[in-house]
Amino acid sequence: MTGQDAEETRAEAPPNDAYRPSLLFLAVVTVVSAAADLASKGWAKAALSGADKGRAKSIEVIKDHFDFIYTLNPGGAWSFLRSLPENLRRPFFLFVSSAAIVFIVSVYRRIHRDQWAMRWGLPLALGGAVGNLVDRIRYGSVIDFIDFYVIRNGREIHWPTFNVADIAIVAGVLLMALDTFLSRKTRGGSGEPVPPAEPLTASPAPEAPLPPGEA
């Protein structure tokens, strides 16, 4: 092999320092968010379910706006599909949760170095998905306990009760949306700014031919 051939081979070889997202970072953020969710649910079950005295209770955090109250949600986020029969609902949500976990991990392995929002968003969403999946395996439902509401004309209007896993999932989705927005500001996600479009200028109109004899 000549020296020139060796140089061409080295030039064509892939770089050794190609970016690979840290699986340790994915695991740490996922475990921390899932642990925070499961710990808060354990507290809610012990403090609010009424298992010790047979009667559920609530804790007022902000009067007329924010309570902690124990509920079991057999459906999805914000009680989605909770009326579906149990023999269909449970396997459906177990499948969806498992598929979401596999999808998130596969997407994480392909992110680029400059995708900081996606690097945080995916493990947050994964931790929330794991926390809710553990509930579905243990109870067939998800523990919700965060209750926001307002009072209008003497009537309480409640936002659907949710949990820490839902907060992590929403935060993760918002970060992923931010990453999509930022990617549109770059060319092909390479980090290079998209050059501004050149202004359109009107072409000069062709001059009318002079009548014969005036040329």
H or E element that contains 153: none
- Residue 69: strand, helix, or coil: strand
The two three-digit tokens of residue 83, written as one number = 């009326």
Q: Which residue has the tokens 């808060």?
A: 40
| Residues whose CB is less than 8 angstroms from the CB of residue 100 and which lie 6 or more positions away in sequence, other chains included | 125, 129
Beta strands in the chain (DSSP E): 58-62, 66-73, 142-152, 155-158
The two three-digit tokens of residue 16, written as one number = 């050794």
Tell me if residue 166 is catalytic. Answer: yes
Catalytic residue among 37, 135, 144, 147: 144
Catalytic residue among 37, 67, 147, 166: 166
Chain-centroid distance, C-alpha 129: 10
**d(C-alpha 53, C-alpha 160), whole Å:** 26
Burial 73-100 (b: 16+ CB within 10 A, else e): bbbbbebeeeeeeeeebbeebeeebeeb
- 32 C-beta neighbours (distance < 10 Å), count: 14
Residues in the chain: 215
| Residues marked as catalytic | 144, 166
